[in-house]
Amino acid sequence: MARTAKKNPVDMSFSFITAVASFSVIVFIIGILYVLISESSLAIGKFGVIKFVTSTDWDPVKESFGALTNIYGTVVTTIFSLIISIPVAIGIAIFVTEISPNFLKGPIGVAIELLAAIPSIIYGMWGLFTLSPIMSNHVEPFLKKIFGSVPLIGILFQGTPMGIDILTASVILSIMIIPFTASISRDSFDLTPAVVKESAYAIGATKWEVVKNVVIPYSKLGVFGGVVLSLGRAIGETMAVAFVLGNNHRITTSLLDAAATITVTLANEFAEADKDIYLSALFYLALVLFVMSFITLAMAKFFLIRAERKYSR
């Protein structure tokens, strides 16, 4: 086959075209990195790296920019969305693989996939018009009443419940990433060999003990990969949080305060940045986001490949 490829000119040009098309992926990644670095060179020169990521200034008037408030917003919303979504997603995976009757498996799988297919702007708008009022009128006052006076945890629930805050954004993000975590966990659970499970049942284990002691340990690498992948998705999510996070460049300790993530800042300010240094700082933010999400996604991929190798052995 390699020989025919050399002989035939049409074949050579076809293989060349396909090669160029597939190398476009590499070109895009290097291109994005190059363009973002060169566009942000003005801001990199002025603020440096360490100063930029540790400064909480975000002041277009004084032309002083730091990314910390944005990074903080991104990290906090992501962590809280993971805290909500991981148990639910793993619960769904356990239900679909071990508990549900066969006729329900398909429909629930499809429903989860549909949840993943809904565009993020719909989540965002639904969050603004429907979830946010529910949060500010019912959920947040309730949480405040219970946890508000508890030491340490109470700090998280200070301030007036407005519904436009970190908590609402995290809830929406968690709904968005549940499908990713759930479907990868389900696929990993499904790969547990039936023989191993059956031997556990044979020595008298209950269903939960099989899940806890056999299925989860066996598939933890894949599940972990799925969680990290969802983390990568959550870091880069824009529209779902842009509606309900406000755009507040301050570090807040309360979940009931507005904040800003990198993505929200970009969405709100990019098109109206009027000064070169302002635009350059925004490109710098985009660069930070790209590097953060690329590393996270690469890690996720690493775990998923390791998991795949382990199961195929």
**Residues between 112 and 151 with contacts to another protein, criterion CB under 8 A:** 112-115, 117-126, 128-130
Window 21-80: residues binding another protein (CB under 8 A): 21-26, 28-29, 31-32, 35-36, 39
Query: Which span (20-28, 141-149, 157-165, 191-199) binds another protein, by CB under 8 A?
Result: 20-28
Interaction with another protein in 233-262: which residues (CB under 8 A)? 233, 235-239, 242-243
Among the listed residues 43, 44, 67, 94, the single contact to another protein using CB under 8 A: 94
6 or 145: whose CB is closer to another protein?
6
Strands (E) in the chain, as ranges, are 58-59, 64-65
Nearer of residues 219 and 263 to another protein, judged by Cβ: 263
SS3 63: coil
Q: Residue from 138, 145, 212, 275 that binds another protein (CB under 8 A)?
A: 212
DSSP letters for 226-255: HHHHHHHHHHH--HHHHTTS----S--S-T
Q: How far apart are the first and last CA of the chain?
A: 30
Q: Which is nearer to another protein, 144 or 233 (CB)?
A: 233
Structure-token pair, residue 194: 């039936």
Listed ranges 50-58, 160-168, 189-197, 208-216: which one lies at the site for another protein (CB under 8 A)? 208-216
| 72 versus 123: smaller Cβ distance to another protein | 123
Q: By CB under 8 A, is residue 156 in contact with another protein?
A: no
* Binding status of residue 208 toward another protein by CB under 8 A: yes
- Under 8 Å between Cβ of 108 and 204: no
Residue 83 lies near another protein (rule: CB under 8 A) = no
Segment near another protein (CB under 8 A), from 56-64, 135-143, 178-186, 219-227? 178-186
Q: Which of 81, 163, 173, 207 binds another protein (CB under 8 A)?
A: 207
Q: Which stretch binds another protein (CB under 8 A): 55-63, 109-117, 190-198, 216-224?
A: 109-117
Among the listed residues 157, 282, 303, 307, the single contact to another protein using CB under 8 A: 282
Please state at what angle helix 262-269 crosses helix 68-94, rounded to 10 degrees: 120
Packing angle, helices 102-117 and 166-190, rounded to 10? 140
Min. distance of Cβ 58 from another protein in angstroms? 17
Please enumerate in sequence order all residues whose Cβ is within 8 A of that of 238, keeping only pairs 6 or more positions apart, or say none: 120, 263, 264, 266, 267
Distances (CA, A) of 120 to 73, 140, 175, 221, 297: 18, 23, 11, 28, 19
Largest Cα–Cα separation, the chain: 79
Residue 155 token pair? 């700090």
How many residues would you count in the chain?
A: 313
Nearest approach in angstroms of CB 50 to another protein is 22
CB of 66 to another protein, least distance (A): 19
59's enclosing H/E stretch is strand 58-59
Min dist. Cβ of residue 261 to another protein (A): 10
Are 120 and 239 in contact by the 8 Å Cβ rule? The answer is yes
Which is closer to another protein, CB of 154 or CB of 220?
220
Report helix angle 166-190 to 216-236, nearest 10. Answer: 140
